[in-house]
């Protein structure tokens, strides 16, 4: 396997592991689904899978993970605004 193929395969598996870990932690009540940690796990996992999918020309998966990443960014921005407002009061 060429080095780039290997690297992007590892990136894809790492992304899948992140998404599954986040889901398992929230489902088992070990992590809050509306917290920064969960949103970062989701964002990082989705971007990793998006990169892997794009390299493999799996465009439906790229689209899904792009939307997933945007949702994560929006959630992180919302959490940042809430923190800023909380610090200002």
**What CA–CA distance (Å, rounded) separates 26 from 37?**
11
Considering only CA atoms, which of 56, 29, 57, 31 is closest in space to residue 42? 31
pLDDT for residue 15 is more than 90: yes
| Domain limits, the chain | 3-88
> How does the average pLDDT of the chain come out, rounded?
96
Structure tokens at 43: 């964002």
pLDDT for residue 89 is more than 70: no
- pTM > 0.75: yes or no: yes
Per-residue pLDDT tens for 19-42? 999 999 999 999 999 999 999 999
Quickly tell me which residue has 């989701």 as its tokens: 42
**What CA–CA distance (Å, rounded) separates 8 from 55?**
8
């Amino acid at each position: 396997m060429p080095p780039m193929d290997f690297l992007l395969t590892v990136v894809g598996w790492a992304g899948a592991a992140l998404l599954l870990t986040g889901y398992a932690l929230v489902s088992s009540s070990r992590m809050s689904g509306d917290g920064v940690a969960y949103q970062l796990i989701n964002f990082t996992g989705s971007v990793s899978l998006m990169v892997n999918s794009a390299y493999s020309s799996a465009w439906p998966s790229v689209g899904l993970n792009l939307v997933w990443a945007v949702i994560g960014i929006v959630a992180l921005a919302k959490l940042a605004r809430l923190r800023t407002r909380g610090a200002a009061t």
